[in-house]
Chain A
């Protein structure tokens, strides 16, 4: 509000501008240099739920105790606000030093030159205990733009309390199909009497479900050249499935589904105990168990044994990235190293951000795990997977929101699954082309 900028404020702005100019002239470090002994402040940002904020703050405190001259300021948000805010701070040249980065966005930020090649900071950041394959998920054209934090897998989370209440047996997940999920969902909905539904509708919060469907049939969303190669009939069947769930009352009515899905993890149907089955990352088990207060169990994905290949894969749950414009890249790298390699830190973080990609750490925390963490780790260790898909190409960061809009159009009868499939593929392709 310009009208509100009175003289005094304008002076203050002017002064702070000069101050920031002065600060910019002040000392900084380079990624390969020694750690400074001066007082510095690093900004560290992540998305997540309450549980994550508490654990992360604890680890920040531990780091600050070891490095009394380094202050780490944590900034946390929920998923949607996180990316809005990162884009704006990045544009304002005010990006945090250390960022939690996602597979969906890493190419888009890296290819625009916003991220530091962590190899430059090797001196402070030890990656020796990481599996090469895992490391490669954070590298683009030989440059390490992100250090994978943990691994996650897509899973079906089932609410055992609800099944017990309605006297429905837990399905055998070693060979169930998408049809089986629909059938058991129908049983739950019938017993739930309009309050509890069988399945939390997929297709709203991320595109992984669609990608899984394609992978089960030996296809993929993108090929190596970032071309969209998703066969339209797979997308069509996916939306037809979702539409059938909603129409037959197996999932909640569309407006309820969309409201809950947009309100974050704690408001989701799984967290509020209003749906028995939901698609989630296996590592969200602990957070969802805490939020729902119910006994949840991880089941394998349906359709894994009927198709060409398992759709499941190890997804780097997220990466640590350092801003290319950080004034203290060496110190930022040291902090990332602490997050990734320090055993004491790992014992606080456990598997909340995924089962650690650092193999030494994974073993070190094995004894510390809670039941839900153990279940998540066991799921990762035992469920068959195939090779991970290509990283989401630059320009396709909006993939999830494009998918969500098409799901909404289908659910509210504004388009047919057929038309949605064609429009989705066309739009994603044009987004990738536009970013070139």
Chain B
């Protein structure tokens, strides 16, 4: 009996659930539940309460009402951080998904050694948000780094890409685009689901590659694209490590890599203003929720479910 059958039977009440099983299940769940309670739910609730206080991490919090939320409106450095974060999300996510889809299409053509390529392209995703890669990035885009050496071959004079506020954010966008592996894997799986007969029929009708892509692949892949889009946007809004390591925790130069989360972190742990940091965390939740809601609303117009 498969798990699905078992579930159906459960729903019909056809299986007697023994009380001892229940108790065992509870004990097996308890550690996970404790983790959820103490590591996630507890802090989330606490941060909501702290949002209304002035809390310097050591002395007990003081209630100050809506001051922290009011400050969000007038904090010009925060507004800059929002600008940086939105630029990052709105530029890097579409580019990343385009790369992911492109490579997935290439890999979907029954290549020999597919498993190898798949792993190779996926690798950056595993490493992408790690400290090691961010450190590597500072080397690659440094004044004596790989990029400048390459440019040197062509006689172009390089610069400190990361230490120049005009280009620092771009290096982080490139880093995010480079980690297109996980959406790529999902695209690949999606491409496999598209029945071959559609393409055969289209080929017989003389449809070009582009027509086939536009009329068959894209519509049938749109649920997957939607899934990736929602996930990567949420993910990008929460980016922290890259900016923190690359800028040495400052968000510099000139606040050009000041991601929202990094600004939040600085408020909490450099300025010791955990109340404001908590308010910022909830504000970020609102922003992400709004983006996700818009995504779901817009999905009606372009996502096609073939069932």
Contact = CB atoms under 8 A, between A and B. Distances in A.
Interface of A: 2, 5, 7, 10-11, 13-14, 80-81, 83-84, 87-88, 90-91, 108, 112-114, 253-259, 262, 397-398, 401, 404-405, 408-409, 412, 414, 431, 434-435
23 contacts: A5-B35, A7-B28, A80-B248, A80-B249, A81-B249, A87-B270, A112-B59, A255-B159, A255-B160, A258-B163, A258-B253, A262-B248, A398-B270, A398-B271, A401-B250, A404-B250, A408-B254, A409-B254, A412-B165, A412-B254, A431-B271, A434-B271, A435-B56
B131 to A, nearest CB: 11
B31 A7 contact: yes
Contacts of A81: 249
B142 interface: yes
A80 B266 CA distance: 12
Interface in B160-178: 160-166
A10 B254 contact: no
Contacts of A262: 163, 247-248, 250, 252
Given A2-B40, A91-B58, A259-B162, A108 B272 contact: yes
B57 interface: yes
Given A5-B39, A87-B269, A259 B254 contact: no
Given A7-B32, A408-B252, A253 B159 contact: yes
A103 B31 CA distance: 45
Contacts of A10: 31-32, 34-35
Nearest to B250: A401
Chain B binding site: helix, strand, loop or mixed by DSSP? Answer: loop
Contacts of B159: 253, 255
B57 A412 contact: no
A91 B143 contact: no
Interface string B10-48: 000000000000000000100110111001100000000
A78 to B, nearest CB: 10
Nearest to B271: A398
B160 A434 contact: no
A271 to B, nearest CB: 15
A103 to B, nearest CB: 17
B32 A256 contact: no
Given A2-B39, A259-B163, A113 B58 contact: yes
